[in-house]
Structure 1
Amino acid sequence: MPGPGQVKALIVAGGNPMMAWPDQNKAFDALNALDLLVTIDTEMTATAELSHYVVAPKLTLETPMTTYMPEGVKYYGTTRGFPEPYGAYTPAIVDPPEGSDVIEDWEFFWGVAKRMGTQIPVSLRYGNGPQAEHAPMTFTLDPSGPKPSTDRLIELSCEGSRIPLERVKQYPDGYIFESDQRVLPREPGNDDRLELAAPPMIEELAIVFSEDNRAIEVEYPFRLLPRRMNNMLNSFGRQIAKLAGDGVNPAYMNPADILRIGLVDGDCVRLRSPHGEIEAIVKGEGALRPGTISMSHGFGTNPGSDRPRQTGGNTGRLSASDDGYDPVTGIPRMGSIPVKILVDEPVNTSVPPLHQARPTWSDRD
């Protein structure tokens, strides 16, 4: 959106917004309107295709690494971390091929800060708010001085850790370390409790329950559900044949729906929502209830270059960023999206109603 505060430049490191963000058409317009778009990636992704500069980083085996990152995801709710106190350090296994023009991701930001004449404050957190396991650890990098090695940055990030980094390095295959950690009694004055059925949640549920979707279900009789693939993470892995297979994200449907509509596995159809349209390849899956379609995100191409049988379809094109978003987080609706199936020949694409008559809110406990 134009006006004060409009983003003019974006640096993408370790991501692929054009495949990951909802409302792909709006994202496409927004990224094309930037004065500067820089992507740091090992592949020419859909986002890299739109970028003014693409920076090639070293690959995983070309850099030293620790288990610091998978340990830290427990603070963000992605997983609960390792079930045991496991730790490992691995040096770089191989060098980049001779003549390669690659850097590590952090070196890009170091170079930018050096040219800007600014320092880099670093803050490492171990949880948030009263749930933090330890006070934040901070230090400052000065790009006007000698550039550190990656190993030096790892050492800085591990200072004060319960198991010293030097000890972790003694176990090339990693190690499950001893632990005397215990859950402590609550701190004096802390009377926090888990609040079940908090009023804001109940109010929001009441609004959702009062919605009348019967009209939209007539025009858009299917519901698009999200799904993930075991061997891929978002859009990463699509260039690896052993992981990506045929490279598409099928529109999985209940076989009875496929038969009733007059389709067969492998047919190409158009899925249209109130916000957009994509092409998709039909495939049967008996575990899905009738009236639902399930597709993985992170596939497809940029608008205008669709190849559904080679790259699949981008489900983000079926959602809108300014409609139905969560009032607390701002995250838009990316599941249970009303869609309809369009094919070249007229067929019966209606489905039995997904919802039977429902009790009113006051009838429910």
Structure 2
Amino acid sequence: MKRAPALAALSGWGFEPRLRVRGLGGCASGLSAAALADEILLDGPGQVKALIVAGGNPMMAWPDQNRAFAALNTLDLLVTMDTEMTATAELSHYVIAPKLTLETPMTTYMPESVKYYGTTRGFPQPYAAYTPALVPPPPGSDVIEDWELFWGLAQRMGTMIDVTMRYGNGPQAEAPPMTFTLDPAGAKPTADRLIELSCQGSRIPLDRVKQYPDGHVFESDQRVLPRAPDNDDRLELGAPPMLEELEQVLAEDNRAVEADYPFRLLPRRTNNILNSFGRRIGKLAGDGVNPAYMHPDDLARLAIAEGECVTIRSPHGEIRGIVAAEAALRPGMVSMAHGFGANPGSDDPRRTGGNTGRLISVEDGYDPVTGLPRMGSIPVCVERLPAAE
């Protein structure tokens, strides 16, 4: 049985190693991806010269897309593992095609583990499932599983692979970490063997989970106990650094900027697409673009019709977008989803949308802890394109 005390106030940033740019260090969420482009572009000791992208798409996700484009084109080696030719893959020296989900064995370990990072995700009951590979790759396919790339690298480098499985954080961990080591000089494991190693010591043995092809809700006698009698930790609801930042935001005077950029760009989610994944699947993404939603009164005032292509400009950059009306928005807002568009020089707003990252500066208004710049509430102006365009 585990107790459920509050975590005492702790410092979640300033960890080593530190980056060379903007005075950023490590924090509870890791090193700053928003600063990685600069770490690639900045000469000198510690410069990043090689990057392996596993299931990501930096060209669509990183803020300041033009800077990301320059950085990735500077690398001595860029390797991308993905199931499609993404904007990042287009720039890569090597593109590795991994097997698809139905071509690999799988468990519910990942969705089960999200309970350690939030209270509103994961399974509400002790559900678990194992599914074997359901279909083989098509004949002649040159594909591997994601882990096989890293196994092959470790094998060629003569490096052992140390794996640590954690079950929660700090005093709220359900169990001590479980570790094991893989020796690439030995026999190559199967994906099923790696799953077995990862599930060692699980409360419900993997062999039992496998007895239920459709998954199963298992019995549980777990209970959460109250805090220990000698524990008087409290949540810190008004941390001084947070209050200081709020005071700085309150004191901002944006009137000069708003004179030239009267709209605010707001991010939004699309129900059927996760970041940039799913844009090429018509049944999920429709026409595959991210419209610039605006209030009908704003469109009327600017004499812009739905479906028109416009220029959206911020103090940092500009993109083209296709406008759409949405009465639920407040006047003065432009709402677009991140993760769309194409690489610089390949823009086609009617086919791929616009990349909002070009409107964002990684150096202005960034968070001093995470390095993340302001991704929303960005001042912009909206202009009709000249008739010739």
TM-score by length of 1: 0.92
> Structure 1 residue 74: deviation in Å?
2.7
Q: Aligned in 2, Cα 1:141/1:43: closer, same or farther, shift over 3 Å?
A: same
Where 2:188 maps in the other structure, the secondary structure is coil
* Higher relative contact order, structure no. (Cα contacts within 8 Å, ≥ 6 residues apart): 2
Map 1:122-161 → 2, pairs under 5 A: 122-161=163-202
> Structure 1 residue 311: deviation in Å?
0.3
Where 2:124 maps in the other structure, the secondary structure is coil
User: Runs of 4+ in structure 1 displaced over 4 angstroms?
Assistant: none
Worse overlay, 69-78 or 258-267: 69-78
Write the distance in 2 (CA, Å) between the matches of 1:13 and 1:78: 27
- What amino acid maps onto 1:88 in structure 2? A
> Structure 1 residue 344: deviation in Å?
2.8
Asked whether the 8 Å contact 1:9–1:37 carries over to 2, the reply is: yes
Cα deviations by residue, 1:33-53 (Å, 9 ceiling, x for unpaired): 100000000100000000000
Write the distance in 2 (CA, Å) between the matches of 1:252 and 1:150: 45
Where 1:311 maps in the other structure, the secondary structure is coil
The residue aligned with 1:293 is 334
Cα deviations by residue, 1:249-271 (Å, 9 ceiling, x for unpaired): 00011111111110111000010
CA RMSD of aligned residues (A): 1.3
Map 1:227-246 → 2, pairs under 5 A: 227-246=268-287
> Structure 1 residue 186: deviation in Å?
2.0
Cα deviations by residue, 1:60-83 (Å, 9 ceiling, x for unpaired): 000000011111223334953211
Write the distance in 2 (CA, Å) between the matches of 1:2 and 1:74: 41
Write the distance in 1 (CA, Å) between the matches of 2:119 and 2:253: 34
> Structure 1 residue 146: deviation in Å?
0.4
Write the distance in 2 (CA, Å) between the matches of 1:202 and 1:28: 36
Write the distance in 2 (CA, Å) between the matches of 1:301 and 1:42: 17
> Structure 1 residue 340: deviation in Å?
0.5
Asked whether the 8 Å contact 2:311–2:385 carries over to 1, the reply is: no
Q: 2:320 aligns with which of 257, 279, 282?
A: 279
Map 1:108-127 → 2, pairs under 5 A: 108-127=149-168
> Structure 1 residue 176: deviation in Å?
1.1
Where 1:203 maps in the other structure, the secondary structure is helix
- What amino acid maps onto 1:264 in structure 2? A
> Structure 1 residue 320: deviation in Å?
1.2
Write the distance in 1 (CA, Å) between the matches of 2:351 and 2:319: 14
Write the distance in 2 (CA, Å) between the matches of 1:78 and 1:278: 38
The residue aligned with 1:318 is 359
Where 2:224 maps in the other structure, the secondary structure is coil
Alignment of 1:196 with 2:237, yes or no, is yes
Where 2:134 maps in the other structure, the secondary structure is coil
Alignment of 1:103 with 2:107, yes or no, is no
Q: 1:25 aligns with which of 60, 66, 76?
A: 66
> Structure 1 residue 181: deviation in Å?
1.4
Asked whether the 8 Å contact 1:73–1:79 carries over to 2, the reply is: no
Q: Aligned in 2, Cα 1:147/1:314: closer, same or farther, shift over 3 Å?
A: same
Map 1:8-23 → 2, pairs under 5 A: 8-23=49-64
- What amino acid maps onto 2:45 in structure 1? P
Cα deviations by residue, 1:262-297 (Å, 9 ceiling, x for unpaired): 011100001011111110000011110000011111
Alignment of 1:72 with 2:128, yes or no, is no
Alignment coverage as a number of residue pairs = 346
The residue aligned with 1:218 is 259
Q: 1:335 aligns with which of 366, 376, 379?
A: 376
Where 2:350 maps in the other structure, the secondary structure is helix
Percent identity for Structure 1 against Structure 2? 77
Asked whether the 8 Å contact 2:265–2:334 carries over to 1, the reply is: yes
Alignment of 1:89 with 2:127, yes or no, is no
Write the distance in 2 (CA, Å) between the matches of 1:142 and 1:286: 60
Worse overlay, 60-69 or 184-193: 184-193
- What amino acid maps onto 1:284 in structure 2? A
Cα deviations by residue, 1:217-244 (Å, 9 ceiling, x for unpaired): 1111000001111101000011111011
Cα deviations by residue, 1:149-208 (Å, 9 ceiling, x for unpaired): 000000111111111111111111111111111112324643210122222211111111
Write the distance in 2 (CA, Å) between the matches of 1:168 and 1:178: 12
Asked whether the 8 Å contact 1:42–1:57 carries over to 2, the reply is: yes
Asked whether the 8 Å contact 1:272–1:278 carries over to 2, the reply is: yes
- What amino acid maps onto 2:365 in structure 1? G
Write the distance in 1 (CA, Å) between the matches of 2:337 and 2:359: 13
Write the distance in 2 (CA, Å) between the matches of 1:289 and 1:215: 21
- What amino acid maps onto 2:156 in structure 1? R
